[in-house]
Structure 1
Amino acid sequence: MITHDFVGIGLGPFNLGLACLTDPLRGSDDLDGVFLEARDRFDWHPGMLLDDATLQVPFLADLVTMADPTSRWSFLSYLKQSGNLYPFYIRESFYPLRREYDDYCRWAAESLPGIRFGQAVTDVEHDGSAYLVRTSAGASFRARRLVLGVGTSPRVPTPLRPLLGERGVTHSADYLAHREELQQEERITIVGSGQSAAEIYLDLLSAAPEHGYELVWLTRSPRFFPMEYTKLTLEMTSPEYGAYHRALPMETRDRLARDQRHLFKGISGDLVDAIYDLHYQQRVTADGPRTTLLTNTEVRDARPLGRAGADLDLLHTETGEAFSLRTGGLVLATGYGPTEPAFLRGVEDRIRRDAKGRYDVAEDYSVDVAGGEIFVQNAEEHTHSLLAPDLGMGPYRNSVIIAAMLGREAYPVEKRIAVQTFGVPDQLRQEVAR
């Protein structure tokens, strides 16, 4: 059996970026990797590929550019090959359509060597010198290292879990597959206040006059937060902020994860404006939208209805008033959470954990007790901060992982890019000491 340098498990944008960046290293550095994906083809959030939805990051945050601007796998290279480079230039927007980004990733995934679709990993073990990876297709792979890119899974708050699987209830991850079904109901309710919730609300509000349903959008947040997109805040997705965050006490990091979430989980300003403008348009040209927007509203309990939908027990957290809502359609835009795959049970003794049982992620994104053997992609928010899911930081993380595997920087790894200093500057600390 061939022993690969690494096996990448899962093929989202981050491991796909790793495949792109290691492609030119296969010959010169003999960095041999194989990538295993359970699905039969690349799909990036297919339930949210709305026609007019765009990424919240510029096209430079593609699979490779921030690590290697000359890569043949860049978004601009994809545009050139698809005949869309000049139309994209004339469009004068840095933000690709989400469908376009999905197609770009599929273009790369279908052209790269070393990617194996239809290979769901079932178990992993260590034979004393390398990892053995087995799949449901009956295949086995052997490698000195693993890179886990299994992605995140839909998160559903505890009070809403009894509704899973009920007709008329869907997570935003599956919205498009259920949109027509939802639109047959008299009332549709959206729970959540992030970008996905706002995109779904705009989509349903646009079609409301045609279908005649009532639309409710509720969140426990005190308001519909816009995404913080000022330049000094964007510097928090930087190598030095990640290093600063990782060095903080665990309790402080966990508190920051809660306090900072609205900075990166909010709604784009353009989308907020589009929602308001559509409200105004419907107010002027029709009888007005049949819709209710509720903040400070928490779901305390939920019961499925016999036919479709649910009864929701709600609490207004500022007034303290309890009330209820019956809805035929329900969209849970409640986000995603990290997933730890069951196939790791066979190598549990090789994984390093923190006091709460989570991956204890090192500076180079490894989580194994020996160091440099098992790496994670987008499973380190609790250690490296909210830059973990950021598409623009994916090439940086892959540059670090590649350097750890090679023992040298194949792609330059930035150490400092920010204007501001996080923590106490060394020169000021020295002044105090004097």
Structure 2
Amino acid sequence: MYAAADFLAIVPAHWDEHRFAEPFETGERMTHRALELLAIGGGPANLALAIAIEELAPDDLSERSLVIERNETVAWQRGMLLPEAQSQVSFLKDLVTLRNPRSKFSFVNYLHSIGRLNEFINMGNFWPYRVEMSDYHQWVANSLEKVRLECARECQEIEPRRDSDGTLTGWVTHLADGSTIGSRYLVVGAGRDPYIPPVFAGLPDDRIIHSTQYLPRIAGLPGDVPYRVVVIGGAQSAAEMFDAVGNDLPGCHRTLVMRSIGLKTYENSKFTNELYFPSAVDDFFDAPPDAREQILREMHISNYSGLAASTLDDLYKQVYLDRMTGKGKLRIETMTDIASAREEGGEVVLELADRRTGTVEELRCDLVLLGTGFVREMPTMVRDLAASLGLEKIEVTRDYRLKIPGQADAACYLQGVNEATHGIGDSLLSMLAARGSDIAHDILADRAGRAVTLTSTSVTAN
């Protein structure tokens, strides 16, 4: 009788090369590589998975796993790494601690390794600065010993591969540099697409900055020009940009436009925060549709359409001082829709529709900053993959595996896009350690099951 570990060893280390591999071309760049696991996106979700693979999986899987990131470096919320912005999640909800508090990849060990642990403890704060959380993620990427991570590798297309019987045997991922990667297991963790409201579609790109591009784009503008800046949105990213642009473009006049009645804080009681526990995922996944809908509706303000209390207080002080001094450089428009947006005579012209009175007012500006969040539907990459598989509906199992009809000897997992089935915390740091474990164990179980099948087939053949 074989043990599970014996089954894992039976899976051939080069299982996929006969299906995918063409000989590597001579020269510096390979045209094709054959791996067992490819994770697309070098953000915290796939970093947590990489840690789980290193700590839980045998070498023949971990050493044949690769994470690719399209940017030149690993960073967390790179467009909004503002100097004083803090994470809204405890440092203990890092990439690994909730799964393995003894792990060398913990945030605490990161602080210890760079010599800042005492100072962090002395600060007496559970919430690290966003820039140090981002640096922690890069440190993890640099500290991986078995799973590889490569930057400047952009995915352009994912092609399912099937054998002559129609069985799904794996994936071929096409990169922007013309090379391809074959894998049995695929994990998509590249994040959601930024949401650009249709009303702004006609504006030139140099007039619009989404929050995901705030820092690099704003850095390219002259700081001594008295820009008229309009920020769209009533949540954390919009408020942070409204605050930051006053320092980044010191002479600017700022207007904040939102549809809500006013800025409000997140709902973050300790009771509702229990719905961000990893253990809450099982209850949510097993709940009927009406219960899921109620939970998401009532928890919305705990993650969306709100601000951290400290951000709101600081912003109100700025508005108060502007009114007190009569400078008139800050303006906030509530219950307001953008009826239209156009460029005219070197200016952006916005038509503001007051939802209370129905009146429409023109507002002329130079720059529009969008704190409009992300598209709620599945990312383009996932929808394109689903289309290539002929899926009418995108669904995942409890272990985040994409449901694919028919016979399959390969699997795909989706990270951070399953709020409808896995709960409000699916896209947040709170779930990463546990989710990495769920996916890693599902892959290990699949490999063990395949080893059993191979062994049984071999015995029968003999």
Question: Aligned to 2:399, which of 364, 384, 405?
Answer: 364
Change in Cα spacing, 1:150 to 1:186, as seen in structure 2 (3 Å) is closer
Q: Deviations over 1:111-163 (max 9, x none)?
A: 32411222222332214322233323343333221111111221011112222
Question: Aligned to 1:73, which of 105, 109, 132?
Answer: 105
Contact 1:352 1:367 (C-alpha < 8 Å) held by counterparts: no
Contact 2:232 2:369 (C-alpha < 8 Å) held by counterparts: yes
Q: Does 1:267 align with 2:343?
A: no
Task: Quote the residue 1:22 is aligned against.
Answer: 53
Q: Which runs of 5+ in 1 are unaligned?
A: 409-434
Q: Residue 73 of structure 1: CA displacement?
A: 1.1
Q: Deviations over 1:333-365 (max 9, x none)?
A: 1112265345875774547553xxxx2122111
Q: Does 1:396 align with 2:428?
A: no
Q: How does 1:220-369 map to 2 (within 5 A)?
A: 220-239=259-278, 241-247=280-286, 257=296, 260-265=299-304, 266-282=306-322, 286-308=325-347, 310-337=348-375, 340-342=379-381, 345=384, 348=387, 350=389, 352-354=391-393, 359-369=394-404
Question: Aligned to 2:196, which of 156, 164, 184?
Answer: 156
Q: Which runs of 5+ in 2 are unaligned?
A: 1-16, 18-32, 164-168, 447-462
Find the aligned partners of 2:385 and 2:253 in 1 and give their Cα distance: 50
Change in Cα spacing, 1:352 to 1:386, as seen in structure 2 (3 Å) is farther
Find the aligned partners of 1:280 and 1:227 in 2 and give their Cα distance: 22
Find the aligned partners of 2:365 and 2:298 in 1 and give their Cα distance: 31
Task: Quote the residue 2:420 is aligned against.
Answer: 382
Paired residues in the alignment total: 399
Contact 2:278 2:430 (C-alpha < 8 Å) held by counterparts: no
Find the aligned partners of 1:158 and 1:267 in 2 and give their Cα distance: 25
Give the letter for the 1:108 counterpart. Answer: V
Task: Quote the residue 1:413 is aligned against.
Answer: none
Find the aligned partners of 2:98 and 2:133 in 1 and give their Cα distance: 16
Segments of 4+ in structure 1 off by > 6 A? none
Change in Cα spacing, 1:362 to 1:272, as seen in structure 2 (3 Å) is same
Q: Does 1:37 align with 2:69?
A: yes
Task: Quote the residue 2:83 is aligned against.
Answer: 51
Contact 1:60 1:392 (C-alpha < 8 Å) held by counterparts: no
Any idea what SS the aligned residue of 2:143 has? coil
Find the aligned partners of 2:238 and 2:76 in 1 and give their Cα distance: 17
Task: Quote the residue 1:142 is aligned against.
Answer: 182
Task: Quote the residue 2:243 is aligned against.
Answer: 202
Q: Deviations over 1:262-306 (max 9, x none)?
A: 32121000111111223344556x444521112211112111234
Q: Does 1:12 align with 2:43?
A: yes
Find the aligned partners of 2:298 and 2:344 in 1 and give their Cα distance: 36
Any idea what SS the aligned residue of 2:201 has? helix
Find the aligned partners of 1:119 and 1:127 in 2 and give their Cα distance: 25
Q: Deviations over 1:53-90 (max 9, x none)?
A: 11111111211111111111111111111111111111
Find the aligned partners of 1:133 and 1:47 in 2 and give their Cα distance: 27
Q: Residue 391 of structure 1: CA displacement?
A: 0.7
Task: Quote the residue 1:187 is aligned against.
Answer: 228
The alignment's TM-score, normalised by the length of structure 2, stands at 0.78
Any idea what SS the aligned residue of 1:270 has? helix
Any idea what SS the aligned residue of 2:193 has? strand
Any idea what SS the aligned residue of 2:255 has? strand
Contact 2:209 2:217 (C-alpha < 8 Å) held by counterparts: yes
Any idea what SS the aligned residue of 1:94 has? coil
Any idea what SS the aligned residue of 1:15 has? helix
Find the aligned partners of 1:394 and 1:109 in 2 and give their Cα distance: 15
Contact 2:272 2:299 (C-alpha < 8 Å) held by counterparts: no
Task: Quote the residue 1:101 is aligned against.
Answer: 133
Q: Does 1:169 align with 2:198?
A: no
Q: Residue 368 of structure 1: CA displacement?
A: 2.9
Change in Cα spacing, 1:381 to 1:304, as seen in structure 2 (3 Å) is farther
Contact 2:319 2:330 (C-alpha < 8 Å) held by counterparts: no
- Of 255-264 and 196-205, more deviation after overlay is shown by 255-264
Any idea what SS the aligned residue of 1:402 has? helix
Q: Residue 3 of structure 1: CA displacement?
A: 5.4
Give the letter for the 1:141 counterpart. Answer: I
Give the letter for the 1:45 counterpart. Answer: Q
The alignment's TM-score, normalised by the length of structure 1, stands at 0.83
Find the aligned partners of 2:382 and 2:319 in 1 and give their Cα distance: 48
Change in Cα spacing, 1:54 to 1:8, as seen in structure 2 (3 Å) is same
Any idea what SS the aligned residue of 2:396 has? coil
Task: Quote the residue 2:444 is aligned against.
Answer: 406
Q: How does 1:78-89 map to 2 (within 5 A)?
A: 78-89=110-121
Q: Residue 15 of structure 1: CA displacement?
A: 0.6
- The share of aligned pairs that are identical, in percent, is 27
Structure number with larger C-alpha Rg: 2
